[in-house]
Amino acid sequence: MTRIGWYGLGSMGLAMATNLQRHLAKKSLNLVYSNRTMARGDTLKTLGAVPESSFEKVVAQCGIIFTMVSNDSVLQHLISSALRSGHPLKDKIFVDCSTVHPATVGLTVSKLREQQATFLAAPVFGGNPIAVDGKLVFAIAGPHAAKETVKPLIQDVMGRKVIDCGEDASKSSLLKIAGNIVTVNLMEAVGEAQVFAERTGLGTGPMEELIGEAFGAVAGGYSKRLTTGAYAPSLDSRPGFGVSLAIKDANHALAIAEEHDVQLPGLQIARENMVAAREYAGECLDSSSMYGVLRQQAGLEFWNEKSRKGGK
């Protein structure tokens, strides 16, 4: 049985790797993991996973290697380091779950193919609580045999559903970017409705009840990020879905849309508001922090009673 490796223990990666380790432990196997900040893996280690000091060392030991990192440049850096390491990569399967541009996927596929290794793009839908529950939706694309090898490590382990986007790995990345057009617009819509509710005296409580009841659990969850203050968490915490990650996703969608003469006006407004939020309150913000800017535009403070009260 090939060893399974993992790199990237952020808000999503740690929860996903934890579920994978629990699954492997039932078969007396242990995940080999690494992360830039190794201490993030301490709980994983207590579950039996094995720490390694670098991505190259994980790759050297494992036949299937998952990555869950911030963005395109981090993924490209990791893949380059594996290629430079001199370890044979033949027959290894790299599975990236991050949200990256389809062109990054295409480039990575070609580089790994030269070494007779396979790359699967397997981005995910759902935030940290859904990752913790092992109920993410995965979109997966790449060579058939590799997908069939990897799916049992995903279905009912880290995810509730695997959408197969075919053999062209860039297609699942495109689906992820398209899905985030909905995510970011929905956060903007919920933020606008909650500011409306507060300023008109309707109140955020009944608004939240309606959003959850009438528009579903995802919209209800976005409302909770506002009313619990999670849109602007304390400076010593890691946001659920960092604002810069959502800006990256919006930028990818807008760039692809432009190439195809598609207008995304709603997404453009949401991106402007996220950028303004980051300028005002820094990196430690959730993607829903456009709410703070919408509050300011309505004459309210950026912060609400449950959020942090300042700082960048």
Ligand X SMILES: NC(=O)c1ccc[n+]([C@@H]2O[C@H](COP(=O)([O-])OP(=O)(O)OC[C@H]3O[C@@H](n4cnc5c(N)ncnc54)[C@H](OP(=O)(O)O)[C@@H]3O)[C@@H](O)[C@H]2O)c1
As annotated, the active-site residues are: 176
Residues in a beta bridge with 155:
159
The CA-based diameter of the chain, rounded to the nearest angstrom, is 65
Q: What sign has the CA pseudo-torsion 133, 137, 143, 147?
A: positive
Residue nearest to ligand X (CB): 10
Closer residue to ligand X, CB minimum distance, 237 or 297: 237
Token pair 């060893």 is at which residue?
3
**Min separation Cβ 103 and ligand X, Å:** 15
Residues in a beta bridge with 93:
64, 118
**Alpha carbons 18 and 25: distance in angstroms, whole number:** 10
Closer residue to ligand X, CB minimum distance, 47 or 202: 47
Number of residues that bind ligand X (CB under 6 A): 26
Binds ligand X by CB under 6 A, chosen from 1, 26, 28, 37: 37
* Residues 70-89 contacting ligand X, CB under 6 A: 70-71, 74
10 lines the binding site for ligand X (CB under 6 A): yes
Q: Quick one: tokens of 220?
A: 């209800």
102 lines the binding site for ligand X (CB under 6 A): no
Token pair 């190259």 is at which residue?
56
Closer residue to ligand X, CB minimum distance, 40 or 224: 40
> Of 149, 164, 154, which Cα lies nearest the Cα of 131?
154
* Residues 178-237 contacting ligand X, CB under 6 A: none
Q: How many CB atoms lie within 10 A of CB 87?
A: 15
Binds ligand X by CB under 6 A, chosen from 98, 104, 108, 288: 98
Contact region with ligand X (CB under 6 A), list: 29-37, 103-111, 198-206, 292-300? 29-37
35 lines the binding site for ligand X (CB under 6 A): yes
69 lines the binding site for ligand X (CB under 6 A): yes
Binds ligand X by CB under 6 A, chosen from 41, 134, 142, 242: 242
**Min separation Cβ 276 and ligand X, Å:** 20
**Min separation Cβ 191 and ligand X, Å:** 16
Contact region with ligand X (CB under 6 A), list: 7-15, 86-94, 186-194, 276-284? 7-15
Binds ligand X by CB under 6 A, chosen from 5, 102, 127, 292: 127
Burial class (CB in 10 A: 0-12, 13-18, 19+), 68: buried
170 lines the binding site for ligand X (CB under 6 A): no
Closer residue to ligand X, CB minimum distance, 222 or 302: 222
Binds ligand X by CB under 6 A, chosen from 62, 68, 146, 277: 68
Q: Map residues 247-266 to x or -, x wherever contact with ligand X holds by CB under 6 A.
A: --x-----------------
Q: Where are the beta strands (DSSP E) in the chain?
A: 4-7, 32-34, 50-51, 64-67, 93-96, 118-121, 124-125, 136-140, 159-164
Between the alpha carbon of residue 310 and those of residues 97, 229, 234, 247, the distances in Å are 33, 12, 9, 21
**Alpha carbons 7 and 21: distance in angstroms, whole number:** 13
Asked if 48 contacts 25 with a C-beta cutoff of 8 angstroms, the reply is yes
Residues that bind ligand X in the complex, under the rule CB under 6 A: 8-13, 35-37, 40, 68-71, 74, 98-99, 124, 127-128, 238, 240-242, 245, 249
